[in-house]
A = this chain, B = another copy of it.
Amino acid sequence: MNISHRVESMQASPIRKFLPYSDAATARGIKIYHLNIGQPDIETPKEMMDVYHNFSDKILSYGPSQGLASYRKALVTYYSNNEISLSENDIIVTTAGSEAIIFAMLATCNPGDEILVPEPFYTNYNGFASIAGVKLNPITTYAETGFALPSREVIEKLITPNTKAFMICNPGNPTGKVYSRETVEMIASIAKEKNLFVISDEVYREFVYDGLKATSILEIEGMEEHAIMVDSISKRYSACGARIGCIVSRNKELMAAVLKLAQARLCPPTIDQKAGEACVYLDEKYINDIKDEYCKRRDIVFNELQTIDGLVCVKPEGAFYIVAKLPIKNAEDFTQWMLEEYSVNNETVMFAPATGFYATPNMGLNEVRFAYILNENDLKKAMTIFKSGLAEYKKLAK
């Protein structure tokens, strides 16, 4: 008996695969600053927690496969507040953004079909693609140019007869890139011309800095049949453990297909949806305060990285990640070394090597992603340790 090839050939999560080393470090009494995973330290809104505290149903029952009616209605309000006009029928609630992406891939692609995705990209897209039997065809972007997309001509050359969709993440994980309206319109225009879907991962919608605004694929005219948006409350409300997301499209045929997938797995978690519903009605101040906080953190990390000789990175415009190209050869080795060999006063730092964020072999070998999800003080300490660790590691001439 063999394990299936499709799972055997799947990469282990590059974000989580260093966990054994961090567990070992913790066991040795080392404190680790975790900049490796997008788990914010921001408190979940009280209004959300109150839903759990006050849940008074006697039976924790199934909800509808497409999500609770009241929550889908609330989401219409949420999107309307974000200048996206929808009906409840355009929304199916999912078990986090993960399930929304899997549904989008399954509904748009047959096994062997291709999705064009700018790299570096959120590494779990690889896992979802393995599950769906889809090939991710990368549009390579570079740290040196701030992970800007190449020209229309370059992108169009990557389209094959098997290409069924674009997958974009805007604002971008891991790049922090926020695509301009012109860029989103370019992607949309290619999609219309070449008859492709655009799956747009917009879970960081609110986290954009310096007066920028994220453009949703759903705002682009003429994209009714092409646009699929995936979303999640995980980062927005620091509610990663609720596992609530959604898939949104005005393409009725697509949504009928997604509903079939949704019916197969019955429904997303019930109370967690109600908790998500409460977040829709939070005061605007809640998100604005968090955004200000992340902006401050971004500046700390970016400014510290700027002081490192030979390091390449561009100021992120959104989300809470930054990718840095380090003046070393092997970021995985460095990551492991920081956990196994290095500490300052029994403290060290964990980050995510970036190779797993690329589909092209040997890309990102010397890059890492930081998630700036710790408070100012911890972040400053973490960056100090990172800098001294990097200097020490370089001396080892690795």
A218 at the interface (CB under 8 A from B): no
Given A5-B110, A238-B60, decide whether A264 and B197 contact each other with a Cβ distance below 8 A. Answer: no
A225 neighbours in B (Cβ, 8 Å): 1
Interface residues of A in 185-236 (CB under 8 A from B): 195-197, 225-226
A269 at the interface (CB under 8 A from B): yes
Given A130-B264, A260-B10, A260-B127, decide whether A242 and B60 contact each other with a Cβ distance below 8 A. Answer: yes
For A269, give its contact among B55, B259, B263, B269 (CB under 8 Å). Answer: B269
Assess whether A98 is in contact with B265, with CB atoms less than 8 Å apart. Answer: yes
| Bound Cα distance A43, B59 (Å) | 5
Assess whether B239 is in contact with A60, with CB atoms less than 8 Å apart. Answer: yes
A271 at the interface (CB under 8 A from B): yes
Given A59-B41, A266-B98, A269-B269, decide whether A107 and B260 contact each other with a Cβ distance below 8 A. Answer: no
A55 neighbours in B (Cβ, 8 Å): 49, 52-53
A146 at the interface (CB under 8 A from B): no
For A4, give its contact among B1, B124, B257, B272 (CB under 8 Å). Answer: B257
Assess whether B106 is in contact with A238, with CB atoms less than 8 Å apart. Answer: no
A130 neighbours in B (Cβ, 8 Å): 264
Assess whether B43 is in contact with A266, with CB atoms less than 8 Å apart. Answer: no
| Bound Cα distance A238, B263 (Å) | 19
One digit per residue, 1 when the CB lies within 8 angstroms of any chain B CB and 0 when it does not, for chain A 44-69 equals 10001100111100111111010000
One digit per residue, 1 when the CB lies within 8 angstroms of any chain B CB and 0 when it does not, for chain A 22-50 equals 00000000000000010111111000110
A241 neighbours in B (Cβ, 8 Å): 60-63, 267, 269-271
| Bound Cα distance A59, B13 (Å) | 23
One digit per residue, 1 when the CB lies within 8 angstroms of any chain B CB and 0 when it does not, for chain A 91-104 equals 00001101100100
Assess whether A266 is in contact with B53, with CB atoms less than 8 Å apart. Answer: no
Given A4-B106, A264-B13, decide whether A61 and B39 contact each other with a Cβ distance below 8 A. Answer: yes
A108 at the interface (CB under 8 A from B): yes
Assess whether B58 is in contact with A39, with CB atoms less than 8 Å apart. Answer: no
A8 at the interface (CB under 8 A from B): yes
A63 neighbours in B (Cβ, 8 Å): 241
A261 neighbours in B (Cβ, 8 Å): 7, 10, 127, 131
Residues of A within 8 A of B (CB): 1, 3-8, 10-13, 16, 37, 39-44, 48-49, 52-55, 58-63, 65, 95-96, 98-99, 102, 106-111, 113, 124, 126-128, 130-131, 133, 164, 195-197, 225-226, 238-243, 253-254, 257, 259-261, 263-272, 275
Which A-B residue pairs are the 3 nearest by beta carbons? A127-B264, A241-B270, A13-B263
